[in-house]
Amino acid sequence: MNYLTPDVPEMVDKFFTKFDDIFTEQSQKDNFRFYGTGLLLEIKRKNIQYMSFHTIGSDYQSEHHFIHDAPWSEQDLNDQRVNTMENIPPTKSCNDGYVIIDDTGNPKSGSSTFATDRQWIGSLGKVDNGQVVVTSHYADSRKDWPIDLRPYMPKKWIQEENERLGKDTYVFKTKLELGLELIDDLKERGIHFSHCLMDAWYGNSPDFIKGVEYRKHLYITPLYANRRIFCRLCGNIDSVEHNVKELVTSMEEDAFSKTEYTRANGEVCKQVSEKFLKKSR
């Protein structure tokens, strides 16, 4: 689907109606529908210019004003979206679900996008020009959907932006602090889950893990092989301080169970404990 007509399908418009109270003008409601349906287009870039070009009878100036200048709150829009997801049985969160904390980088060629600077871009695997956001995501065995995000603002960008504005508008926060803020929002949003999931970069931060534990959440995270842990190994009564690799390689094979998972392409894979132990050694 490369082109859209100005008419929004009835099924899609019914969904958009849930957000009408956020907007004060009819033109805002119309442009919100244009933008939402434009995201469905199978085009390379999902910006206003390209979406406008591929929408019959579109008004680029009106659409640009809606995104750039019109007085509506993107936070209110996202709050309403999450509230909608939580009030529909097929998408509602449940107690056996998971909340995933992660960050993602978006490469940018210029500097006009908010908080864009040279920094680590995970999708590229290197330092480059781009924007980074810390995200929270809900998932269980039947569904998954994004919850919220916080833009990461590099120190250099904050300094230059505050100097340009002539006041301390922006305050630096680490990605770890932003991740904990997203976790704090879960209770207010009424999202149910059993564990927080995070990758090793977050999981190997003592301050972040202490923050999760302080909030009384269970969590699952990988640990680096050299991460220091405190436990008593079988046959070793002299010390309780070890690293993760020492613990894993000291355990008997029957301590590990078989794991089965399904790839995105539908392929079912099995990983047995013996392979895991060999890899660890």
Segment 123-173, tens digit of pLDDT: 899 999 999 999 999 999 999 999 999 999 999 999 999 999 999 999 999
**Both 66 and 142 in a single domain?**
no
**Both 97 and 29 in a single domain?**
no
- Domain region containing 242: 228-280
CATH of the domain at 179: 3.30.420
Residue type, 15: F
Q: Is residue 86 part of a domain?
A: no
In the chain, the percentage of residues whose pLDDT exceeds 70 is 91
Q: Is residue 178 part of a domain?
A: yes
**Both 175 and 254 in a single domain?**
no
| Conformation bin of residue 235: beta by default, left when phi > 0, alpha when psi is -120 to 50 | left
Q: Is residue 85 part of a domain?
A: no
**Both 95 and 217 in a single domain?**
yes
Instruction: Report whether 64 contacts 45 (CB < 8 A).
Output: no
Instruction: Look at residue 275 in the predicted model and tell me its pLDDT.
Output: 42
**Total domains present in the chain:** 3
**Both 105 and 213 in a single domain?**
yes
Q: Is residue 96 part of a domain?
A: yes
Q: Is residue 177 part of a domain?
A: yes
Flag whether pLDDT at 117 surpasses 70: yes
**Both 116 and 27 in a single domain?**
no
Lowest mean pLDDT among 95-104, 171-180, 190-199, 267-276: 267-276
Instruction: Report whether 251 contacts 233 (CB < 8 A).
Output: no
Instruction: Look at residue 274 in the predicted model and tell me its pLDDT.
Output: 44
CA distance 222 to 225: 9
Q: Is residue 128 part of a domain?
A: yes
Q: What confidence tens digit (pLDDT) does each residue in 248-277 have?
A: 888 887 777 777 777 767 787 765 544 444
Q: Is residue 42 part of a domain?
A: yes
CA dihedral 215, 219, 224, 227 (to 10 degrees): 50
**Both 217 and 247 in a single domain?**
no
**Both 97 and 213 in a single domain?**
yes
**Both 26 and 121 in a single domain?**
no
